[in-house]
């Protein structure tokens, strides 16, 4: 599996991968989103030809960069791992936010 992400979630994913000593999951951090670095991302993904590719974000599915990446980078079929669609970017409760963040990271490595 290859996880594409941007921002702070990278560190959560990296921590989980190191904690679990996972060698079967690659994480590609994309920080330049516009213009989307399609050539560089494709070059990295070429190393993992048969891998499932997922975009991981901590924002709800209907927010964040998911829809932009989906429109801009069509070279690869990707799934999304994120919070469920919502009207607000955050629940407003620290405990709930932490629980949802943990669920996102666990799903990325499932």
Q: Tell me the pLDDT tens digit for each residue of 68-101.
A: 999 999 999 999 999 999 887 777 788 988 899 9
Any idea what DSSP says for residue 107?
H
pLDDT for res 90: 74
Helix, strand and coil content of the chain, in percent to the nearest 5, comes to: 40, 20, 40
CA-CA distances (angstroms) from residue 6 to 50, 65, 102? Answer: 22, 8, 17
The tens digit of pLDDT for each residue in 39-79 reads 999 999 999 999 999 999 999 999 999 999 999 999 999 99
Do residues 13 and 57 make contact, with C-beta atoms less than 8 angstroms apart? no
Question: For 46-88, where are the alpha helices, taking DSSP H only?
Answer: 66-72
Burial classification of residue 93, based on how many CB atoms lie within 10 Å of its CB (0-12 exposed, 13-18 middle, 19 or more buried): exposed
Check pLDDT > 90 for residue 38.
yes
């Amino acid at each position: 599996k290859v996880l594409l992400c941007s921002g702070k979630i990278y560190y959560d994913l990296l921590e989980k991968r190191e904690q679990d000593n996972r060698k079967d999951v690659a994480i590609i951090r994309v920080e330049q989103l516009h213009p989307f670095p399609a050539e560089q991302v494709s070059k990295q993904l070429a190393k993992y030809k048969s891998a499932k590719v997922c975009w991981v974000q901590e924002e709800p599915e209907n927010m964040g960069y998911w829809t932009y990446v989906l429109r801009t980078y069509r070279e690869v079929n990707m799934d999304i791992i994120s919070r469920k669609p919502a009207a607000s970017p955050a629940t407003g409760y620290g405990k709930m936010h932490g629980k949802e963040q943990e669920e996102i990271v666990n799903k990325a490595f499932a």
